[in-house]
Structures are given as C-alpha cells and as structure tokens.
Amino acid sequence: MTTARETVLGRIRDALALAPAPDITVPRAYRTGRTLPDDERLALFTDRLVDYKALVHTCTADRTAQAVAEVLQEQGARRIGVPAGLDAVWLGAYDGEVQRDSADIPAPRLDALDGVVTASAVSCAETGTIFLDGSPDQGRRALSLVPDLHVCVVDLSTVEVGVPEAVSRLVPERPTTLISGPSATSDIELERVEGVHGPRTLVVVIRTDV
C-alpha cells in the first residue's frame, strides 16, 4: 500500500518524464573583479565585522602568536580546540591546554572546550563574511560551531571586496561554512538571542601583511 507522499512524488516524476526539459540560460551578469587598496579593504571589512558584534584585532604575521594568546587570555579560555592542520607557531605564546581535533572526537565533547582557534579560506569585506572550507587548518564544521568562542585568523590578502570575488576563490567541492559575526537569532518578540546556533563570541585576528 502506497502512502500519500509516495503517490504525490510518483505523479511528479511521471510529469517530469513527460514534459520536455526547458533550455535554461542562467544569467551571469553580476559585478566581478572589484578591488580596493589594502587600507580601504581592511577598514570596510572591520566596519562590517564590528557591526555584526564581532571583536576585531589586527597584527602583523610575526605577531600572530602574541595576538592569539592575548585574545585567549582576554576571553578566559584555558582549554581550546584547534584543527589538526593549524600552524603550531600560532599557539607558541599560549600557556593553556590545546586539544588537536579529529573525527574520532564526538561533537558533544567539543562543548567542554572554552574556545577554538582556526584559520580561514577567504572573506568578503562588503558583507563582513568569513568562509571556512574544511581545510586542515580550519577543521570540520562541528569544531567551529560547538565551542562558545571562535578565534578566527584571517589574512588580509584573502579578503575580497564582494561576494562574487570571494566565491570565485572557493573550491566548489569543499564543504563551506559562512560566518557573519557571532551566532544570533531573534525570538518571537524580536529579542536578540546569541549563541543558539554557534559561538556566542567571534574574535577575528586580521594579519595585515599576509
């Protein structure tokens, strides 16, 4: 005996098989190739991040370890998780406990961490969006979503002006996570609630000379 769902889906499949497939051309006329000088791109990106209630720190590449350690100390993070491929030099000034992530660690156990430190793939200045693509220095999606603090290191050279420019740098086959500020939503009375679907606190460390 078939269910109503199976009946409906069966009729849809039959209709699609009988109907000729339309020749569809997807328009690709959006703006591409936009650029800005480094200082303007940094200012725009920072403005958007702050508007989303993210915390922003800037540093040079040789100060990465100090910047990350200072952020973690400010946030009171004594036990952090990091992707397996994160540069160990970035943690050289941190004196807390570091847990290298792996697929063998169940996602619920990540909730015991005070925070996580990751790199990033590319960012969009215009929207203040950071893209993670699951590379070894960014890790699996659960690692950046479960802990309440996410410290994300962004190289200014990976910050594009707009969405088309940023998306063009991504590898389509890789899983992509888009981050625009700390996790937030609104309840039925439009009261802002943070930390429901991801980290309550997002700190972005921008390396200005990389």
72-98 pLDDT per residue, tens: 999 999 999 999 999 999 999 999 999
Query: Is there a contact between 159 and 165 (Cβ–Cβ < 8 Å)?
Result: no
Neighbouring residues of 171: CB distance < 8 A, sequence distance ≥ 6:
133
Asked which of 23-32, 112-121, 130-139 is least confident by mean pLDDT, the reply is 23-32
Q: Which amino acid is at 75?
A: Q
* Confidence (pLDDT) at 19: 84
Cα separation, 145 vs 173, in Å, equals: 21
Q: What's the token pair of residue 11?
A: 């009729």
State the pLDDT confidence band at 193, using cuts at 50, 70 and 90. Answer: confident
Nearest to 204 by CA among 182, 187, 186, 183: 182
Asked which of 6-10, 29-33, 70-74 is least confident by mean pLDDT, the reply is 29-33
DSSP H or E segment with residue 7: helix 4-18
Q: Please give the distance of CA 138 from its chain centroid, rounded to a whole number.
A: 9
Query: Is there a contact between 141 and 176 (Cβ–Cβ < 8 Å)?
Result: no
Asked which of 95-99, 110-114, 121-125, 183-187 is least confident by mean pLDDT, the reply is 183-187
Backbone φ and ψ of 18, nearest 5°: -85, -30
Question: Which residues are paired to 56 by β-bridges?
Answer: 204
**What percent of the chain is helix, strand and coil (3-state, nearest 5)?**
30, 25, 45
State the pLDDT confidence band at 190, using cuts at 50, 70 and 90. Answer: confident
**CB-side neighbour CA atoms (13 Å) of 139:** 28
Tell me the pTM: 0.85
Work out the average pLDDT over 126-151: 97
